[in-house]
Amino acid sequence: MSDFDYGIVEEAAKQLYIKALCDLPPDVREALKRAYARETKPTARSVYEAIFKTIETADQKHTLICQDTGLPLYKVKIGSRYAWNGYEIKSRLTNGTRRATQEFPFRSSSTHPLLRVNPQTSVGPGLPVFYWDFSEDDTLDILMAPKGSGSENVSKMQMFTPADGVKAVKKFVLDTVVNGGGMPCPPGIIGVGFGGTADLVAKLAKDAILRPVGQRNPDPEIATMEVELEEAINSSGVGAMGLGGDVTTLAVHIETAYTHITQNPVAVNCQCWPARRARAVIHPDGAVEYGY
C-alpha cells in the first residue's frame, strides 16, 4: 500500500466545494458575455447586468454566487498507475464536503427526504453523489459540481422506442425547457442523455452539463443535433430568467450510450446560469492543481 496522505484529498474536497460556490468558470463567464451581446430585449439585458454585478461581488468579497449551495456531486477519475485507495478517497471527499459546509460556512441544502430534517452538513445517505471512472495515468482527477434545486426540479426522463424517431426526441427536449420557464434560472446549459438505460441516461444528462460551455460532442451527427436544439431553444423566447429574450440557453450538450434495439431512453438535465464546477488534479507526491 502507498503512504499517500489522504488528508490532501479531504482538504481538496473542502476547497473545491468553496471554489465552485464562489468562483464561476471562465468559459461560463465568456458565454454569458456573448449572450448579453446577442440580447436585444431591455428586460433581459437588465437581467444580465444584475448577473454580472453578482459575479463581480462574489469575486471581490469571496461570497457565494448563489444562495442555493446545491447537492454536492463529485466526478472522480482514478489513475491506474498508482495504488490509490478508493474507500479512503470516498471517505475523505465526504469529510471535506462536511468541513466546507461547517467551516466556510454556508447553508447546507441537503435534507432527509421524508422528515425534511437538515443536519447542516451537506452529507448523508447517498450524499455526496459520486461518479467513478479510471484513467491510464497516476493522478486523481476530481471534478466537483454543486447542483441547485431550481434547475434540477425541471429534469425529465422518458423512454422512447426507435419508432418514435428523432423528431419526438427533439420535441421532448424542447418541451422540457419551455415548460421549465424561468425555474432553472436561464440562460444555462441544457444537458441531454441519449441511449443506455433508464438509470444511465440520467447520469449522461448530468455528465453533459459538466462539459465546458459549447464543447461539442465528438460524434458529428450528435454535434449537429446539439446545434439544432440550441437554435430551437433560443427561438422559444423564454429568455433570461424566463422573462423573455433572445437567449434561453448558453449551450446544449448531448452525451450518448449504446442502448437496446427496442428502446431509446432520453433524459434532460438543466443547469442554471451559474454553471458551477471546480476541479483538482492530485499527484502521488501530494501536489494539487486547481482549475475548472
β strands within the chain, DSSP E = 71-79, 129-135, 140-147, 156-160, 188-195, 249-257, 264-270, 278-282, 288-291
pLDDT classification of 1: cutoffs 50, 70, 90 = low
Asked whether the beta carbons of 188 and 138 are under 8 A apart, the reply is: no
What's the whole-number mean pLDDT along residues 160-173? 97
The predicted model gives 40-64 an average pLDDT of: 98
User: pLDDT of 68-127, one tens digit each?
Assistant: 999 999 999 999 999 999 999 999 999 999 999 999 999 999 999 999 999 999 999 999
User: What digits encode the pLDDT tens for the residues 211-257?
Assistant: 999 999 999 999 999 999 999 999 999 999 999 999 999 999 999 99
Q: What is the pLDDT of residue 39?
A: 98
Return the exposure string of 1-31: e unless at least 16 CB atoms fall within 10 Å of the residue's CB, then b: eeebebebbbbbbbbbbbbbbbbbbebbbeb
What digits encode the pLDDT tens for the residues 267-291? 999 999 999 999 999 999 999 999 9
> Within a 10 A sphere around the Cβ of 236, how many other Cβ atoms?
16
Cell numbers at residue 183, please?
425555474
- Distance between CA atoms of residues 114 and 111, nearest Å: 9
Whole-angstrom distance, CA of residue 194 vs CA of residue 75: 19
